[in-house]
């Protein structure tokens, strides 16, 4: 019994050694014959271009050549988008997504209606988004002409451009988005606020207080105090709902403290 086991493992071990030795030799040979290979190869500029699709705003840099009309876009939309976004981009219960039209006056209301017309400060963002992510079931399948066209159609539905608009890298960059100034620069983590861990003011009231009293922070913080004023102007209506909800009574009750 014992000797059979021994000889069996001896055979296995020997076989293993032979395989390893042979493999080791082979690999060593290959290495010496082709010393430059082994860790892939340098990526070419051509390959990189396929991935380099981020569009700069507000300049529109990196928008590709091509163009499309509102009418072309209506066709692209019917074929490639309508099944999820509904007729005329109105969305709704029978579709996968809500409306992509309107909402332009709601930036300081609650609820805000966020659509490409209302929530993009720069028009080329729509091009970037659609080319990158849509149609959801087959992204990267549209040509630049098709993306220009369907972007024109969506902005036309939002009342931002005429029916005869021809969209290309120049014209899309020239569109003035209605809520362009309704955004503040997100410069986190550089913030003038001091961390508050207990007995904190309700969210949305700190900027108001700073703006009213003037800045009580140190001299170096001046530019940030300016930002806070801007944020208060713009977001005032939007955060108003939150201030109402987070009253002092709530804090005393402590029940909704987590919200
Ligand atoms: C298979 C379903 C589907 C198809 C087809 C589709 N979409 Fe979408 N789309 C979605 C979903 C879901 C979202 C929300 C995605 C998210 O929030 O991450 C979305 C979001 C969007 C948004 C952002 C809307 C906003 O208000 O922010 C745009 C713009 C958009 N789609 C355009 C298009 C266009 C143009 C086409 C056709 C070329 C298209 N979609 C085709 C499902 C789809």
Are 118 and 103 in contact by the 8 Å Cβ rule? The answer is: yes
* b/e map 166-205, b = 16+ CB within 10 Å: ebbbebbbebebbbeebbeeeeeeeebeeeeeeeeebebe
Distance between CA 106 and CA 126 in Å, rounded?
Answer: 19
Q: What is the DSSP letter of 35?
A: T
Ligand 1 atom closest to residue 80's alpha carbon, by position in its atom list: 37
Tokens of 76: 């692209």
- Mean pLDDT value across residues 65-89: 98
- Is the CB of 84 within 6 Å of ligand 1? yes
- 97, 98, 151: residue to mutate for ligand 1 pocket, most atoms within 8 A of CB: 97
Topology annotation, domain 52-174 = Cytochrome Bc1 Complex; Chain D, domain 2 (1.10.760)
Tokens 């296995």 sit on residue: 12
Ligand 1 contacts CB of residue 73 (under 6 A): no
Kindly indicate the confidence band of residue 76, based on its pLDDT and cuts at 50, 70 and 90.
very high
Asked if the model's pLDDT at residue 22 lies above 60, the reply is no
Residue having the nearest C-alpha atom to atom 19 of ligand 1? 97
At 85, the pLDDT band (50, 70, 90 cuts) reads: very high
Mean pLDDT of the 13-37 span: 50
Q: Which comes out higher in pLDDT, residue 98 or 28?
A: 98
Look at 232 and 96; give whichever has higher pLDDT. 96
d(CA 170, CA 247): 49
Q: Which pLDDT value is given to residue 35? A: 61
Neighbours of 70 (CB within 10 A): 22
pLDDT at 224: 41
Rounded to whole angstroms, the Cα distance separating 225 from 238 reads: 20
Task: Report the percent of the chain where pLDDT is more than 70.
Answer: 63
Q: Is 100 in the pocket of ligand 1 (CB under 6 A)?
A: yes
Quick check: 177 pLDDT over 90?
yes
DSSP 252: H
Domain assignments of the chain as residue spans, ordered by start? 52-174, 190-242
Q: What is the pLDDT of residue 208?
A: 58
> What pLDDT is recorded for position 234?
35
């Amino acid at each position: 019994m014992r000797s059979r086991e021994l000889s069996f493992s001896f055979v296995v071990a020997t076989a293993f050694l032979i395989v390893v030795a042979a493999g080791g030799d082979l690999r060593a040979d290959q290495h010496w014959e082709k010393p430059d290979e082994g860790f892939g190869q340098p990526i070419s500029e051509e390959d990189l271009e396929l991935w380099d699709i981020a569009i700069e705003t507000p300049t529109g840099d990196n928008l590709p050549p091509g163009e499309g009309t509102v009418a072309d876009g209506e066709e692209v939309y019917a074929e490639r988008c309508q099944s999820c976004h509904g007729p005329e981009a109105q969305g709704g219960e029978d579709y996968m997504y809500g409306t992509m039209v309107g909402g332009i006056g709601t930036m300081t209301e609650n609820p805000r209606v966020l659509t490409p017309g209302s929530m993009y400060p720069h028009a080329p963002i729509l091009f970037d988004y659609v080319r990158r992510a849509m149609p959801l079931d087959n992204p990267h399948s549209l040509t630049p002409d098709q993306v220009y066209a369907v972007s024109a159609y969506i902005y036309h539905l939002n009342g931002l451009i005429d029916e005869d608009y021809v969209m290309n890298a120049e014209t899309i960059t020239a569109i003035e988005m209605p809520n362009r100034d309704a955004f503040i620069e997100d410069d986190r983590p550089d913030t003038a606020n001091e961390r508050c861990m207990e007995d904190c003011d309700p969210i949305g009231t700190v900027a108001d207080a700073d703006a009213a009293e003037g800045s009580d922070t140190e001299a170096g913080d001046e530019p940030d105090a300016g930002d806070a004023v801007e944020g208060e102007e713009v977001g005032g209506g939007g955060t108003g709902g939150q201030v109402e909800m987070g009253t002092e009574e709530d804090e005393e009750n402590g029940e909704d403290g987590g919200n």
